[in-house]
Amino acid sequence: MALKEIRPGLFRITINTGLFPSNIYLIDRGVPTLIDTGPNHTVSALNEGLAQAGRCLSEIQRLFLTHIHWDHVGAAKAVAADLRGEMVCLSAARHILTDYEADLARLVQTRGIFLDRAGVPKKIVRTILADLDHYGRFGQSAMPHGVFESGQTFSLGQASLSAIATPGHTPQCVSFYAKEDGILFSGDFLMRHFSTYLTPHISEENAYLPLNAYEESLRRVQQLPIRLVLPGHGPAIQDPHGRISKIQRSMKAYRETILRIIAQEPKSQFQIHSALNGTVNHWSLSFSIADVAAHLGVLLAEKKVHRQDRNGVDFFSLG
């Protein structure tokens, strides 16, 4: 656990999830407020961080959740039980939080279908799914005390927080904008060193395209006078507008590269991924192949590529 006071009364508690560090934020300016909880096996590290900042859970009046992933809100149930006040989440995220185990089972199943269709070798698929299930269990269902909508503003004494829907990483991601400080608490929407993992959605009836949603979120946030971004992982972003522009440029270039890769002959998503990234470990693959899928989803919608089934694997050629 590491504690850092970023501004007077604004603390970052970094806990090690076992895979990577996650950030929890304490805003202590009149109404003691937490953003996220970390996973369910690091509650003692969270308590230690709060104690070093001079607080404990029974003094926290509001807990906001950015998105329903184990590394951010796995401890929601345990933490909510000890809070003085309310745990709240975006209304659209409520059913995932209250039915977390069923959602995890669905996630593992649909991810398996996605990876098979992407042409990922079976052995690697099994390892990825086993990991997804293993780490997913560092989260559990919890009952929020209340929900909020995007655009809603909460007063925290000398500060305020506005919820801003920033879908892309998940359809129900939300960031929190502290207007007085020009700070955005971004969850996994924006990070300094990593690109956002764009969760693949495979259901046919679901028209949600993670990349379209993400690019729309970037445009929405680009219009706010933000001076500092505090992400769910890694260090603060000191130049938010520069970071967003860089992401936007690299996404455009990424799609152009995919079109070049499939210009000669049809390729599966795994083959496109290999052409882009070479051979990587299964954990990196599980993240970066989702990028390939997200970009192909947009190229398909724009009719720039064509998809063809070959024995249960999708192959993509120029449209």
Nearer to Zn ion, 28 or 188 (CB): 188
Beta strands, E only, the chain? 2-7, 10-16, 21-27, 33-35, 62-64, 86-90, 146-148, 153-155, 160-165, 174-178, 183-187, 228-231, 267-268, 305-310, 313-318
Stretch that binds Zn ion, among 28-36, 44-52, 90-98, 187-195 (CB under 5 A): 187-195
Nearer to Zn ion, 19 or 124 (CB): 19
The least distance separating Zn ion from the CB of residue 182, rounded to whole angstroms, comes to 24
Rounded Cα–Cα distance for residues 17 and 22 (Å)? 7
Q: What is the largest CA-CA distance in the chain?
A: 62
Nearer to Zn ion, 71 or 181 (CB): 71
Stretch that binds Zn ion, among 64-72, 94-102, 119-127, 262-270 (CB under 5 A): 64-72
Rounded Cα–Cα distance for residues 223 and 219 (Å)? 7
Stretch that binds Zn ion, among 84-92, 157-165, 170-178, 188-196 (CB under 5 A): 188-196
The least distance separating Zn ion from the CB of residue 193, rounded to whole angstroms, comes to 13
Question: SS in 3 state form for 104-133?
Answer: HHHHHHHHHHHHHHCCCCHHHHHHHHHHHH
Nearer to Zn ion, 71 or 314 (CB): 71
The least distance separating Zn ion from the CB of residue 305, rounded to whole angstroms, comes to 29
The least distance separating Zn ion from the CB of residue 76, rounded to whole angstroms, comes to 14
- Total number of residues that touch Zn ion (CB under 5 A): 2
Nearer to Zn ion, 188 or 291 (CB): 188
Does position 36 interact with Zn ion (CB under 5 A)? The reply is no
Which residues within the stretch 70-129 sit at the binding site for Zn ion (CB under 5 A)?
71
The least distance separating Zn ion from the CB of residue 25, rounded to whole angstroms, comes to 14
* Interacting residue with Zn ion among 28, 36, 181, 188 (CB under 5 A): 188
Residue 285 backbone class (left: φ over 0; alpha: ψ -120 to 50; beta: rest): alpha
Contacts of 116 (CB under 8 A, 6+ apart): 122, 125, 312, 313
C-alpha pair distances (Å), 146 with each of 30, 70, 101, 174, 213:
21, 20, 20, 15, 25
Nearer to Zn ion, 169 or 273 (CB): 169
Enumerate binding residues for Zn ion (CB under 5 A).
71, 188
